[in-house]
Chains A and B, each alone.
Chain A
Amino acid sequence: MKRRVLPGLPLSLGITLVYAAIIIVLPLIALVFKAASLGPADYWRIVTSDRAVASYVVTVSCALAATLFNVVFGMALAWVLVRYRFPGRRIIDALVDLPFALPTAVAGISLTTLFAVNGWFGGPLSALGIKVAYTPLGIMIAMAFTSLPFVVRTVQPVLEELDPALEEAAQTLGGSDLSIFARVVLPLLTPALLAGVSLSFARSLGEFGAIIFIAGNQPFETEITALLAFIRLEEYDYPASAAIASVMLIAAFVMLAVTNIMQARALRYTVRN
């Protein structure tokens, strides 16, 4: 049957395309244009300079660590919220989204204050010989904070929909809790978990506000790539800033592709259940 055509396509599509072109596409093209104007040799020299490479290592390794933490803690949190009933559960459920709602600069100063040597947590930790603020550990905590909700919010709905009959069947077959979790529940959660992981990792790669306060920002040690792009800008070295930002843009597009693939997979599994 042929569909009746609703009105308003030219106007709504026109607004959408013009706005997307001006607000989203134009700036990104300008960035690529600026980076390309460097020429291959200079571009390569800048993006593979020691300081830039060190910043990639710091950013990627901290993002991996933060994401790993989020996988374990995020899944435990989702599990507790879905499976257990306890006072304050709904408040905690609502608070899970706090890292998205709280501006990153606010998160940055509050995490730094908490984990500084004279802070609530920094004091006891430094007594144990663990320094958090102004070390890669601080970067990791800031990244873990800002990206925590991704894993929780992708795993939670799948866990809610999980059919209890599957676990019961495994139990009647004599499986232990651990083996049932590993062999029945975890495989069902994996697609959603991977989608959450890719989102969490992508967010950590691009995070700026929460990190710069707690990082210490020492070149080669605690300097993230986003900050290096910012520093080059403040030094009026615009081409270098464009080149480094373009590397982040490429990483963002790769992660966007990965995320889309992961979500398409996650969705396929959800639909099949």
Chain B
Amino acid sequence: MTKLQSHRRPPRIGDAPVFRRTLLAVVLFFVAVIIVAPLAVIGVHAVSKGLPYFAAAIAEPDTRHAIMLTVLTALIAVPINTAFGIAAAWAITKHDFPGRRLLLILIEIPFSVSPIVAGVSYLFVYGLQGLFGPALEAADLKIMFALPGIVLASMFVTAPFVARELIPLMQAQGRDLEEAATSLGASGWRTFLTVTLPNIKWALLYGVVLCNSRVMGEFGAVSVVSGNIRGQTNTLPLHIELLYHDYDAVGAFAAASILATLAIITLVVKVVLERQGAGRRNRPASLAGNDSLSEVKP
């Protein structure tokens, strides 16, 4: 150890050992109660009657159907929202046009609107008492209380997820590379695929993971538009509610453990992708879906 290093820097505030230990203990206690315990209780209750019972609960036909419906919803909604997110990010960050700021706020709206309000709103578009209800009824098209309604409501709730990961990053990266590519004769698509995409792939993947996680877990909006028909329009979160209210705690927690596992995978992917430069390191609280869109100056 050199002499310079052995010099004691004045401790920063809050570094007094007693204070430090007390604050750490209090914070860790609350982390254990508020964050760790809710996660732990899912696992404990899911297997409280043994693993065979847990496996049987998941293999139960209505639960299996709910899983399939949730996966199907995500398979439709996530790619569409990904395409939308890329298009919005390309338009907003690679071009100048009037109203860009307004468009950013517009894309951000679903973050601010309660999922219940979203579900109710969709009912007034496609439901029987809604704008297109009578016309849809006449054409024998069922959107509400069926798969299309569930997909639409999920798309509303998660519309900003991919765009909000891409926009701050693409804004920061500027347009020079794309301008160079097009001036050398590359087409727009080729420029996007060979120049832009490699630079945004981690943020894009991160946005897709977040979007998928939210689609699979969405409850409020979907519960309004699905009609909760057991074995037909019950997604996994809705099925959990149903089992829970049927006093089938093990079944509910077994189903919940699938979504909790998905949540943990999402967190792990987040940590891994942040090391690749996506997410919070560039922008505070991106999972919170709060900031950064407002950073983009027109």
Contact = CB atoms under 8 A, between A and B. Distances in A.
B200 interface: no
B207 interface: no
Contact of A6 (B45, B178, B260): B178
Given A208-B219, A248-B116, A94 B34 contact: no
Q: Indicate the size class of the contact surface on chain A.
A: 35 or more
B246 to A, nearest CB: 12
B14 A153 contact: no
Q: Indicate the size class of the contact surface on chain B.
A: 35 or more
Contacts of B125: 26-27, 30
Contacts of A17: 103
Interface string A171-200: 100000100110001000000100110010
A195 B293 CA distance: 14
Contacts of A8: 90-91, 94, 188, 192
B271 A76 contact: no
A23 B106 CA distance: 11
A64 interface: no
Interface string A82-121: 0110100010101111111111111101110110000111
A144 interface: yes
A173 B42 CA distance: 52
Contacts of B88: 12, 15-16, 20
Contact of A98 (B86, B123, B267, B295): B267
A154 B288 CA distance: 9
A76 to B, nearest CB: 5
Label chain B's interface by main secondary structure. Answer: helix
A259 B13 contact: no
Contacts of B35: 92, 95-96, 98-99, 145, 148
A71 interface: no
A149 B95 contact: no
Contacts of A16: 84, 87-88, 91-92, 103, 107
A14 to B, nearest CB: 8
B56 to A, nearest CB: 19
Determine which residue in A3, A226, A227 has the highest number of CB atoms from chain B within 10 A of its CB, and name it. Answer: A226
Nearest to B38: A110
Interface string B153-170: 001100100000000000
A102 B33 CA distance: 16
Contact of B263 (A19, A27, A102, A150): A102
B237 A103 contact: yes
B87 A199 contact: no
B118 interface: yes
B270 to A, nearest CB: 7
A230 B221 CA distance: 10
Contacts, number: 328
Given A6-B191, A256-B112, A12 B266 contact: no
B109 A24 contact: yes
A23 B14 contact: no
B37 A120 contact: yes
A80 interface: yes
Contacts of A213: 241, 244
B109 A114 contact: no
B13 A110 contact: no
B26 A6 contact: no
Interface string B90-123: 1110111100000101111110111111101111
Nearest to A238: B129
A33 B268 CA distance: 43
B240 A106 contact: yes
A215 interface: no
A53 interface: no
A11 interface: yes
Contacts of B240: 105-106, 109
A214 B130 CA distance: 32
A259 B288 contact: no
Contact of A20 (B36, B107, B116, B249): B107
Given A27-B122, A154-B291, 12 more contacts: A19-B84, A24-B159, A77-B30, A100-B287, A105-B240, A113-B249, A114-B41, A149-B288, A157-B280, A206-B113, A206-B116, A209-B115
Interface of B: 10, 12-16, 19-20, 23-24, 26-28, 30-31, 33-39, 41-42, 45, 83-84, 86-88, 90-92, 94-97, 103, 105-110, 112-118, 120-125, 129-131, 152, 155-156, 159, 175, 178-179, 182-183, 187-188, 191-192, 213, 216-220, 223-224, 237-238, 240-241, 244, 249, 252-253, 256, 259-260, 263-264, 266-268, 270-271, 280, 284-285, 287-291, 294-295
The 10 closest A-B pairs by CB, nearest first: A103-B217, A206-B114, A7-B188, A153-B285, A27-B121, A209-B219, A208-B220, A101-B263, A12-B91, A15-B87
